A = this chain, B = another copy of it.
């Protein structure tokens, strides 16, 4: 019933969504400027009205990914705010679930969009906000002795490194099957993170 209009309405958003869906269904190799344009129902050059080049679209998709990740983290943080030990594990687990639910998008988000620092400021700001959420979680855990005292910044680096490395290596199938058979993944993760917590 929709009129075939020359102007799309919100092509920028449509291209980001289309790109995200292509990532979900067909992976990174299928995500081209032209495939995103096709999926949005416009010509192959239409994206250039909204994005400087392909990198610029990828940065926008990554930014949207960070926003969605922040949404998931927020849910966990609110749900477990009264139980710091669960807070840490469940927030980390949310990070991992996001990565596993959209692996191609997750990999894109951490695949070198940031060549020069000022090229994509809104991406950068999404990255920084995500980090800040983690620092807050860590600080909360430190106050209740779930994590050792000390600089929250430094401790957050350790925690985030472990969580991120865990899911990155898992997505790349770097862990041998033998160890994955012995555990449920969440248990393996919780045990790993447990090593950082105070006994």
Is there an interface contact between A160 and B154, defined as CB atoms closer than 8 Å? no
Inter-chain contacts of A166 with B (CB < 8 A): 157-158, 161, 165
A60 an interface residue at 8 Å Cβ cutoff?
no
Task: Report the minimum CB–CB distance from A166 to chain B (whole Å).
Answer: 4
A74: interface (CB < 8 Å) = no
B153 touches A160 (CB 8 A): no
Q: Any chain B CB within 8 A of the CB of A81? A: no
Partner of A162, one of B111, B112, B161: B161
A176 contacts B110, C-beta separation under 8 Å: no
Q: Which of A118-132 contact B (CB under 8 A)?
A: 127-128, 131
List the B residue with the shortest CB-CB distance to A193: B158
Candidates B131, B153, B179; contact of A153 at CB < 8 Å:
B179
A173 proximity list for chain B (CB < 8 A): 114, 117
> What total of chain A residues lie within 8 Å of the partner, measured CB to CB?
41
Q: Does A34 contact B (CB under 8 A)?
A: no
Determine whether the beta carbon of B111 is less than 8 Å from that of A111: yes
Q: Are A158 and B164 in contact (CB under 8 A)?
A: no
> Which A144-185 residues sit within 8 Å CB-CB of chain B?
148, 153-155, 157-158, 160-166, 168-169, 171-176, 178-179, 182-183
- In the complex, the chain B residue whose C-beta lies closest to that of A183 is B154
B112 touches A176 (CB 8 A): no
A16: shortest Cβ distance to chain B, in Å?
A: 21
Question: Shortest CB–CB separation between residue A84 and chain B, in angstroms?
Answer: 17
Q: Which residue of B lies closest to A171 (CB)?
A: B112
Closest 10 CB pairs of A and B: A165-B165, A161-B165, A158-B192, A161-B166, A164-B165, A162-B162, A153-B179, A114-B173, A161-B162, A158-B195
